[in-house]
Chain A
C-alpha cells in the first residue's frame, strides 16, 4: 500500500466510525472491499486485465462460498442481496467504459455484454456443478482448480504463456508477452484463504457463513494486498460483532492509529532508507568487496522485515479501526534463538496456514501408517513439504525452491539437535543458558540472512555468485 491508499482508507475509517450507522457496518466493509480491489489493482499492459482480474476474484469467491455451503443450506435473502449488490458493482464499474468519470479505478473495461456474459457463464457453470456433482467431488474439484490456477499465475513460464494468450485474445502484440504482466494483486492470499475454507468445510469445522461474511473475509481491503491471512471463524466473529461495536471508542482509535503510525514509520522511513543499499541484482553485480556484500545482505534482511512488518502493522491497525481483529504476522523474529521459533514468528499467518493444511495433515497421515515410519522420517518429509510449499508460494522458481529446502534443512537439523539436547539443556545453569541463547540468536540470524540470498537473486547463478562473494572467493560481478 502506498501513502495515498493508506490516506484514503483512514478517511474511510473516519467516516465509518464517526458517521455510519452501526447496522450498516458489515455492508460497508463488504462494498468498500469489493470496490477497493479494483482500485488497488495496478493497471496492466494487457487490455482489460486490470478490470478482469479483480472481477475474476469476485466471481471465484462467490463460487467458493456457494461450493462450501453445507448441502442442506439454501442461500438466504441476505445472501441474494449481497450477491446482487456485488454484481451491480461489477457491472457499474464496467460502465466507465462508456461514461467518463473523474475517478477511474481501472483502465477502460470490456463491453458490458462481455462482462455480463462471462459472469453468467461462470456462475451458471458453478450452479450446475453443485447441482450434479456429489459434495466431496465438488470440493476436491474446486481445490484442484484453485491450485492449478495458482500454479499458472506463479510459474513464470506458464504466466508468460497465459499473458501471450491474453494478448492474442485482446488483439495486442503477443511477442511482447511477459510473465510479469500477470501481476494479479492479492491473488496468492485470496487463493490460500479460499483453499482454507474448502479444507475446513471438508473437515467440518467451517462455520456457516453468509455470502457477505465470506466475501468480506476473502477480500477485506486492508489485508488484501499482502495479508495477514485470517482464519474464517475469527474474522467472522469480529464481523458479527460489528453492529454492537462502539464506534467512537477512544481505545480502538488510539490503538489502531498507533499501529498504523508505527507501521508507516517502519515501512516508509526505515525500510525505504535501507533500500538504498539492500542486496539487489544490480548492486550485487556492482559490489567490489566481501564486506559490502555482507552489509547489503543484512540490509536486505532488515529491510524485508521492516517493510513487511510495517505493512502488517498498517493492515492490522486499519483492521482495528474497522473493528476486525486480524492475526499477527511477526513477533521479533530476528531475536529468536532457534530456527523453529523463528518460523513461529515470521509471517506467522502464512506459516500457521501451511502448518494446518500441509504439515499437520501430512504428519498425521504418515503417523497412521502401519508400519509407522520413524518419527524422524515423518518430520523430515513433513518439514520439507511445508517449507517447499512456502517457498513456491512466493514464486514457482528454483531459487525459491532452494530457499524452502534451505529452511527445511535448518528446521530438521534443529529438531534433531533439540531432541538430543533437551534433557541436557534443562540441567544447565541460568548463566549457561543465557550464553547458549545468545549463541542461538546469532546462529539463527546468520542462517536466515544467508537464506535471503535465494530470495533476493532471481536466478541460481546470481545467487551462487553472491555466495561466492560473501565467502571471499571470486568477486567482481557476474558477466
Chain B
C-alpha cells in the first residue's frame, strides 16, 4: 500500500467514524486530539483500525497525543511498520 493510500484511508476513517463529519476539511498537520476534534479514546479506535486495515500493531505506549496527533504522524507511524 502506498503512503497516499494509507493517508486517505485514515482520513476517511477519522472523518466518517470519529469526527462524524464527512465534509470537514482535515489538513495533514492539524492536531486532531489537541484541537478537540476527537478525544483520546479515539486513539484506541485508530489503533484497532490500523490493525484491521493495515495489519500494523501499534503498541499502547505509542498511542499518545504526542505521537499520533496529526494525520502526518499517524501515516508515518503506519508506514514504518507496514509490510
Q: Do chains A and B touch in the complex (CB under 8 A)?
A: yes
Interface residues of A (CB under 8 A from B): 200, 203-205, 231, 340, 352, 355-357, 359-361, 363-364, 367-368, 375, 378-379, 382, 415, 418, 422, 426
Of B3-11, B58-66, B71-79, which stretch is located at the interface? B58-66
Contact of B51 among A340, A357, A368, A418 (CB under 8 A): A368
**A360 lies within 8 A of B60 (CB):** yes
**B45 lies within 8 A of A367 (CB):** yes
A200 to B44, CA, bound (A): 17
Contact of A367 among B36, B48, B62 (CB under 8 A): B48
**A422 lies within 8 A of B61 (CB):** no
A205 to B48, CA, bound (A): 18
**B44 lies within 8 A of A363 (CB):** yes
**B41 lies within 8 A of A204 (CB):** no
Kindly identify, within residues 8 to 64 of chain B, every residue whose CB is under 8 Å from any CB belonging to chain A. 36, 39-41, 43-45, 47-48, 51-52, 57, 59-64
Chain A residues with Cβ below 8 Å from B40 are 355
Do A426 and B61 form a contact, CB below 8 Å, given A360-B47, A364-B47? Answer: no
A359 to B40, CA, bound (A): 10
Chain A residues with Cβ below 8 Å from B48 are 364, 367-368
Contact of A205 among B39, B41, B47, B61 (CB under 8 A): B61
**A415 lies within 8 A of B41 (CB):** yes
Most chain A beta-carbon contacts within 10 A, residue among B36, B39, B43, B59 = B59
A457 to B16, CA, bound (A): 47
**B39 lies within 8 A of A361 (CB):** no
A357 to B45, CA, bound (A): 16
A223 to B7, CA, bound (A): 41
Closest approach, in angstroms, between the C-beta of B39 and any C-beta of chain A?
Answer: 7
**A200 lies within 8 A of B45 (CB):** no
A–B complex contacts, Cβ < 8 Å, 20 sampled: A203-B57, A205-B62, A352-B64, A355-B60, A357-B60, A359-B44, A360-B44, A363-B44, A364-B44, A364-B47, A367-B44, A367-B48, A368-B48, A368-B52, A379-B41, A382-B41, A415-B39, A418-B39, A422-B36, A426-B36
A360 to B68, CA, bound (A): 14
Name the residue on A nearest B62 (C-beta).
A205
Chain B residues with Cβ below 8 Å from A203 are 57, 59-60
Closest approach, in angstroms, between the C-beta of B31 and any C-beta of chain A?
Answer: 15
Chain B residues with Cβ below 8 Å from A375 are 41
Name the residue on A nearest B37 (C-beta).
A422
Contact of B41 among A200, A356, A363, A422 (CB under 8 A): A363
Q: How many B residues touch the partner, as a band?
A: 10 to 19
Chain A residues with Cβ below 8 Å from B62 are 205
Closest approach, in angstroms, between the C-beta of A137 and any C-beta of chain B?
Answer: 21
**A340 lies within 8 A of B39 (CB):** yes
Chain B residues with Cβ below 8 Å from A200 are 59, 61
A352 to B20, CA, bound (A): 27
Chain A residues with Cβ below 8 Å from B57 are 203
Closest approach, in angstroms, between the C-beta of A382 and any C-beta of chain B?
Answer: 8
Chain A residues with Cβ below 8 Å from B39 are 340, 415, 418
**B60 lies within 8 A of A356 (CB):** yes
Most chain B beta-carbon contacts within 10 A, residue among A205, A360, A382 = A360
A275 to B43, CA, bound (A): 41
Chain B residues with Cβ below 8 Å from A356 are 60-61
Name the residue on B nearest A205 (C-beta).
B59
Supply 10 further A-B pairs (C-beta < 8 A) apart from A203-B57, A361-B60, A364-B48.
A200-B59, A205-B61, A352-B64, A355-B60, A360-B60, A363-B41, A363-B44, A368-B48, A415-B39, A418-B39
Chain B residues with Cβ below 8 Å from A357 are 60
Closest approach, in angstroms, between the C-beta of B81 and any C-beta of chain A?
Answer: 11
A340 to B36, CA, bound (A): 12
A426 to B45, CA, bound (A): 23
A426 to B19, CA, bound (A): 13
Chain B residues with Cβ below 8 Å from A359 are 44
Closest approach, in angstroms, between the C-beta of B12 and any C-beta of chain A?
Answer: 18
Q: Which 10 A-B pairs have the closest CB atoms?
A: A360-B60, A363-B44, A367-B48, A203-B59, A356-B60, A356-B61, A205-B59, A364-B44, A364-B48, A364-B47
Chain A residues with Cβ below 8 Å from B36 are 422, 426
Closest approach, in angstroms, between the C-beta of B83 and any C-beta of chain A?
Answer: 15
Chain B residues with Cβ below 8 Å from A378 are 41
A363 to B47, CA, bound (A): 10
A203 to B41, CA, bound (A): 20
Chain B residues with Cβ below 8 Å from A382 are 41
A8 to B41, CA, bound (A): 44
Most chain A beta-carbon contacts within 10 A, residue among B41, B43, B47, B64 = B41
Chain B residues with Cβ below 8 Å from A360 are 43-44, 47, 60, 63
